[in-house]
Amino acid sequence: MATSSSAGHDAHGSGQATRRDFLYVATVGLGAVAVGATVWPLIDQMNPAADVLALSSTEVDLSKIAEGQGITVQWRGKPVFVRHRTEKEIKEAEEVPLAELRDPETDDARVKAGKKQWLVMVGVCTHLGCIPLGQQGDYDGWFCPCHGSHYDSSGRIRRGPAPLNLPIPEYQFLSDTKIKIG
């Protein structure tokens, strides 16, 4: 042992990697990979399980929602607001200058072309996840009672601690009176 280790030192002195260095790096490297491979399952088990991930979609019949009314449906365990907007609400939403918005997005980008009256969005406050209340707040839209976030008639954040607009889920019109979320 003594001789081989002193040989190692000599080799270091001359700037050459020894067999011992190689073994050392290889052992530690393999060990790190093994630890990582073992720890990952321990962490990943907490991510959504396959049954939770199995995508669900929800169909909504729009014919029963009168102008100025909205309903809340459940999708992936979350509330989705489907609102039939009035002319006034649409106009207000379109007239807001983008510079005034915290999370700038035009009203057009938040609805489907030709279906401006229908606003479909995930009803989860982008602050800390409460469900905002409809037809409330200072911007003719939604108000989150938890920490006081105000959303406008396009669901965009206007005032309060929330950083982002209410998200628009993926959805499509199956017919003029039916949408499919998800």
Partner 1 sequence: MSSSTPFQTNSKVIKWIEARLPIISTIDGALVSYPAPRNLNYWWNFGSLAGFMLVAQIVTGIILVMHYTPHVTMAFASVEHIMRDVNYGWLMRYAHANGASMFFVVVYIHILRGLYYGSYKAPRELLWWLGIVIFLLMMATGFMGYVLPWGQMSFWGATVITNLFGALPLVGGDIVTWLWGGFSVDNATLNRFFSLHYLLPFVICAVVFLHLWALHTTKSSNPLGIEIKGDQDTVPFHPYYTAKDAFGLSVFLMFFAYWVFFNPNALGHPDNYIEANPMVTPAHIVPEWYFLPFYAILRAVPDKLGGVLAMGGAIVILFFMPYLDFSKVRSAKFRPIYKQAFWLFVLDGILLGYVGAMPAEGIWILVGRIASVYYFAHFLVIVPLISWFEKPLPVPESIAKAVLGDAAKA
- Residue 71 as a binder of partner 1 (CB under 8 A): the answer is no
One residue of 11, 65, 90, 130 binding ligand FES per CB under 6 A: 130
One residue of 27, 39, 163, 178 binding partner 1 per CB under 8 A: 163
Q: Count residues contacting partner 1 (CB under 8 A)?
A: 25
Please give the structure tokens belonging to residue 73: 């449906």
Contact of 160 with 170, CB cutoff 8 Å:
no
- Residue 181 as a binder of ligand FES (CB under 6 A): the answer is no
Identify the DSSP state of 81: E
Amino acid at residue number 138: D
- Residue 157 as a binder of ligand FES (CB under 6 A): the answer is no
- Residue 145 host element (H or E): none
State yes or no: is 127 an active-site residue. no
The DSSP bridge pattern shows strands 70-75 and 78-84 to be antiparallel
- Residue 79 as a binder of ligand FES (CB under 6 A): the answer is no
Least spacing, CB of residue 180 vs ligand FES, in Å: 28
Give DSSP secondary structure letters for 21-78.
Answer: HHHHHHHHHHHHHHHHHHHHHHHHTTSPPHHHHS---EEEE-TT--TT-EEEEEETTE
Least spacing, CB of residue 47 vs partner 1, in Å: 5
Chain residues binding ligand FES by CB under 6 A are: 125, 127-130, 144, 146-149, 160-162
Tell me which residues touch partner 1 (CB under 8 A). Answer: 43, 46-49, 52, 72, 74, 76-79, 127-131, 145-148, 160-163
